[in-house]
Amino acid sequence: MHIKKIVDDVYRVSVNVEDKNYLFEGIWPIPHGISINGYLIKGEKNVLIDLTQNIFDFPKEFTRQIEGAKLEVEDIDILVINHMEPDHSGWLREFCKKNTKAVIYCTKKAIPLLQAFSDVPAERAIAITDGMELTVGDYELQFFETPNIHWPETMMTYERKRKILFSCDAFGCYGNIEEDKIFDDQISQEKHEFYESEALRYYANIVATFSSFVLRGLEKLKDLDIKIICPSHGIIWRDNPSVIINDYKRYAEYSKGPAERDVTIIWSSMYGNTKQVLNTIIEVLRKRDIPVHVYQAPGDDAGYVLASAWKSAGLIFCMPTYEYKMFPPMAQMIEELLVKKVTNKKVYRFGSFGWVGGAQKDFEAKTEKSGWDILGHYEWQGAPTEADQEAIRTAVEGYCDTLIDFTK
């Protein structure tokens, strides 16, 4: 990858995670990779905004790209650290050893983290205040605290003259970026759809828990005239930045109320008795033109289930009883949904049991504080009969009626 010019003397420095087995944050599969972007402003003083993770050859690659702008690491005068998470700051320790002069601009909350993560003394840093301006040659930087998008110390940097927002994790997405296809106007419609779906998965995996902060951040930035969004993961939005801004707003709002008119079904089955009703449920939903997304626990990765559940107004769980409780992999999946604050959903559960059941009681206890509207459940003993299938058809019909009133 080469260093890429964005506008004037503003450049993107970027790496892609090519290892298909790499788990982002140690949890999330990224079969299509993720880019880690930093930004360089070359001028009277040279500014670098965000670094890279210290994995693979990433620091070497960042160095090589900086050299592509005819600069050495030692030539950086100002280092802006929008976020101390190691995917962006992993190189900081080595960077500061090599470059002993750069002044670091970060939030007050980031300063102790500089020491803790990277052995960088507080004396090297200047704590920004919200809205603080810093003129560097022809560039007018302004810093905004945006706590919890994604860590408490996170901030964004805005360049006022060219109206560029360096948004860090916000407006980011999974997915590697191809050489010469770094801007939203350089990619096909198909690629647009891919990045938007990877943005949803990224949001659900990384940012969802902090949705109320995303809404607060969007409110704070709403009067900024933004012409270009330079996120720390994903493509640069210069043709139509409102696409990704609106996507993030929509994703954040799903946490508060209606979502899409979609249903995510998550199912588990040991011997197929619960699985036998899946098609019945799917048929009714399809007949009502409701998009259905089906995942199995165990089997499907929680990162994908989260993305689907996040955007769906409806969740249907199909799971049997296991030792008087929920089938364990499903219990784990539900726990994951609750940790990520998947809330405000219309919910139904179906499941087989052998003798007295127990899964439903466990399900209700574990989801008591979920904010889910549990509309009902249907259980049967052993294999489902035709009468069970008919009762399930009726239950799903009723469920669909409720769902329609609840969606955006």
Ligand X SMILES: Cc1cc2nc3c(=O)[nH]c(=O)nc-3n(C[C@H](O)[C@H](O)[C@H](O)COP(=O)(O)O)c2cc1C
Three-state SS for 94-135 is HHHHHCCCCEEEECHHHHHHHHHHHCCCHHHEEECCCCCEEE
Q: Which two tokens stand for residue 26?
A: 């140690």
- Choose the binding region for ligand X from 32-40, 240-248, 320-328, 395-403 (rule: CB under 6 A): 320-328
- Choose the binding region for ligand X from 201-209, 227-235, 289-297, 347-355 (rule: CB under 6 A): 347-355
Task: Select 88 or 345, whichever has its Cβ closest to Fe ion.
Answer: 88
Q: How far is the CB of 280 from ligand X (least distance, A)?
A: 14
Q: How far is the CB of 296 from ligand X (least distance, A)?
A: 12
Nearest C-alpha neighbor of 284 from the set 379, 376, 395, 378: 395
Q: How far is the CB of 351 from ligand X (least distance, A)?
A: 7
Give yes or no for residue 352 binding ligand X (CB under 6 A). Answer: yes
Measured from each CB, the residue nearest to ligand X is: 354
Select from 137, 298, 382, 398 the one that contacts ligand X (CB under 6 A). 382
Task: Select 175 or 357, whichever has its Cβ closest to ligand X.
Answer: 357
Give yes or no for residue 323 binding ligand X (CB under 6 A). Answer: yes
Give yes or no for residue 29 binding ligand X (CB under 6 A). Answer: no
Give yes or no for residue 298 binding ligand X (CB under 6 A). Answer: no
Using alpha carbons, list the distances in angstroms from residue 12 to 57, 59, 179: 17, 15, 12
Give yes or no for residue 384 binding ligand X (CB under 6 A). Answer: no
Nearest C-alpha neighbor of 277 from the set 355, 394, 401, 375: 394
Task: Select 178 or 379, whichever has its Cβ closest to ligand X.
Answer: 379
Give yes or no for residue 271 binding ligand X (CB under 6 A). Answer: yes
If contact means CB under 5 to 8 A according to the sort of partner, which of Fe ion, ligand X, none does residue 219 touch?
none
CA–CA distance, 12 with 3 (Å, rounded to integer): 6
56 φ/ψ sector (left φ>0, alpha ψ -120 to 50, else beta):
left
Using alpha carbons, list the distances in angstroms from residue 237 to 3, 172, 182, 220, 240: 17, 10, 9, 20, 6
Select from 52, 269, 280, 343 the one that contacts ligand X (CB under 6 A). 269
Q: Which helix (H) or strand (E) holds 392?
A: helix 386-406
Q: How many of the chain's residues bind ligand X (CB under 6 A)?
A: 20
DSSP class of 356: S
Task: Select 169 or 198, whichever has its Cβ closest to Fe ion.
Answer: 169
Burial annotation 30-41 (CB, 10 A radius, 16+ → b, else e) = bebbbbbbbbbb
| Torsion over CA: 193, 195, 199, 202 (sign) | positive
CA–CA distance, 303 with 207 (Å, rounded to integer): 12
Task: Select 189 or 355, whichever has its Cβ closest to ligand X.
Answer: 355
Q: How far is the CB of 176 from Fe ion (least distance, A)?
A: 15
Binding site for Fe ion (CB under 5 A): 85, 87, 150, 169
Binding site for ligand X (CB under 6 A): 269-275, 320-324, 352-358, 382
